[in-house]
A and B are shown apart, each in its own frame.
Chain A
Amino acid sequence: MVTRRATRPVTLDSRWRLPRLAGASALALLVACDDGAESSAGRGAEVSSVNAEDFAGSAACAGCHEAQYGAWAASTHGRAGGEPGPESVIAPFDGTPIVFRDGTVLPLVDSAGRHVFVVRQEGRPEQEIRVHGVIGGGHMLGGGTQGFVTRVPDGTVRFLPFDYSRQLDAWFCNTATRAELGWQPVTPEMSLGDCGDWPPVRILGTMSRFANCQSCHGSQITAILEPGTGVATAWNSLDINCESCHGPARRHVEMMAEVGSGDGASSAEGVLPADRGSAGTIADAIDIGLTSRVTDGVEQSLNVCFHCHSLKDVAREGYLSGAELTDYYALLLPALGDEPHLADGRVRTFAYQGAHLSSSCYVDGSMTCVSCHEPHGLGYWDVNRLPLASEIDDGQCTSCHASKAADPEAHTFHPPESPGARCVSCHMPYLQHPSIGDAVPFARSDHSIPVPRPQLDGRLGLVSACRGCHTDQSELRLQAWVDERWGETRPQDPVTAGLLTVTDAMGGDLAARLLLRPGEGGAMDQARGLGRYIMGWVRLGEGLGRDGAERMALLAESEDPDLRAMALVALHVAAPARGAGTGATPDADAVAASARDESDGVRRRWVMVLGFLAEEARAIEDWATATELLQRALAVSPEEPGVLLTLGLVRSAAGDPAGAIDALSRSLDADPNQPVARVNLGIVLAAGGDDEGAVREYEAAIALNPYEAMAYVNLGNLYLRRGNTAQAISVYEEAVAAGPEIAAAHRNLAVALGRAGRFDEAIPHARRAVEFAPGDQAARDILRQLEEAAGGGAQP
Chain B
Amino acid sequence: MAGMGSRRANDSSGSPALAAATLLLAVAGLAVWAATHRDVPGAEAADVAFLDPPGAAAADLATSAPSHQEVPEGAVLMKELGCGACHTGVPEGDAIREVAPPFGEGAAPLAPAYIYHYLADPQTVRPDIAPARMPRYELSERERVALALFITNERELRGVDDALREAMARHPEAGRAEGSAVFESLNCGNCHLHPDFEARASAPDLGATGLRVREDWLAGYLARPVAIRPAGTLPGRGDRMPDFRLSPAEVASITDYLLALETPSPGASPEPRSPQIQPWEPLALSPFSMRKAETLLRDRWSCLGCHQLGDDGGRIGPRLDGIAARLRPEYVRHLVQYPEHLTPGSIMPASLEQPGRMDLIASYLLLREGEWAGSERIPDMPALGRGSARDAGLAAVAGDPGARLDAGGGADPDLGARLYATHCAACHGVRGGGDGFNASFLPVVPTVHADSAAMSLRADDTLYDGIHGGGWILGKSHRMPAYGASLDDARKRALVAHMRALCRCLGPQWSRDGRRGR
Spell out A's residues near B (CB within 8 Å). 266-277, 282-288, 292, 294-295, 297, 363-367, 383-386, 399-404, 406, 410-411, 413, 483-491
Contacts and interface: CB of A to CB of B under 8 A. Distances in A.
Given A268-B356, A277-B285, A295 B296 contact: yes
Interface in B293-308: 295-296, 299-300
A299 B286 CA distance: 27
Interface string B323-360: 00000000000000000000000000000111011011
Query: B-side binding surface: helix, strand, loop or mixed?
Result: helix
B287 A385 contact: no
Nearest to A283: B286
Contact of B469 (A283, A400, A406): A400
B286 A285 contact: yes
A270 B363 CA distance: 12
A135 to B, nearest CB: 34
Interface string B463-506: 01100110011110000000010000100100000000000000
Interface residues of B, number: 47
A218 to B, nearest CB: 29
Q: Which of B295, B465, B473, B475 has the most CB of A within 10 A?
A: B473
B464 A402 contact: yes
B360 to A, nearest CB: 5
B281 interface: yes
Nearest to A365: B475
Nearest to B513: A487
Nearest to B281: A274
Interface of B: 281-292, 295-296, 299-300, 352-354, 356-357, 359-360, 363, 460-462, 464-465, 468-469, 472-475, 484, 489, 492, 509-517
B469 A383 contact: yes
Given A271-B360, A490-B510, A287 B288 contact: yes
B291 A286 contact: yes
Contacts of A364: 474-475
B513 A400 contact: no
A385 B353 contact: yes
B473 A366 contact: yes
A586 to B, nearest CB: 37
Contact of A276 (B284, B287, B464, B510): B284
Given A385-B354, A486-B514, A488-B513, 15 more contacts: A267-B356, A270-B288, A271-B284, A271-B286, A274-B282, A284-B286, A284-B287, A285-B287, A285-B288, A287-B288, A297-B299, A403-B460, A483-B514, A485-B516, A486-B515
A282 B296 CA distance: 20
B473 A365 contact: yes
Nearest to A483: B514
B468 A403 contact: yes
B313 to A, nearest CB: 18
Contacts of B291: 286
A483 B284 CA distance: 57
B284 A270 contact: no
Contacts of A286: 286-288, 290-291
Contacts of B465: 400-403
Contacts of B283: 271-274
A364 B356 CA distance: 28
A490 B354 CA distance: 33
Nearest to B471: A366
A487 B512 CA distance: 8
Contact of A383 (B282, B285, B473, B509): B473
A277 B352 CA distance: 28
Contacts of A413: 515
Contacts of B472: 366
Contact of B295 (A277, A295, A367, A491): A295
A432 B467 CA distance: 37
B468 A402 contact: yes
A399 B295 contact: no
A384 B354 contact: yes
B284 A294 contact: no
B237 to A, nearest CB: 29
A486 B472 CA distance: 27
B461 A283 contact: no
A269 B514 contact: no
A486 B359 CA distance: 43
B514 A270 contact: no
A487 B473 contact: no
Nearest to B290: A286
14 contacts: A268-B356, A269-B356, A271-B285, A286-B286, A286-B288, A292-B288, A292-B295, A365-B473, A383-B473, A385-B357, A399-B352, A402-B492, A403-B460, A487-B514
Contacts of B288: 270, 282, 285-288, 292
A199 B289 CA distance: 52
B353 to A, nearest CB: 6
Q: Which 6 A-B residue pairings sit nearest by Cβ, starting from the closest?
A: A487-B514, A277-B284, A487-B513, A286-B287, A402-B468, A403-B461
A367 to B, nearest CB: 8
A399 B475 contact: no
B515 A484 contact: yes
B228 to A, nearest CB: 28
Contacts of B464: 402-403, 406
A294 B511 contact: no
Contact of A288 (B286, B484, B512, B516): B286
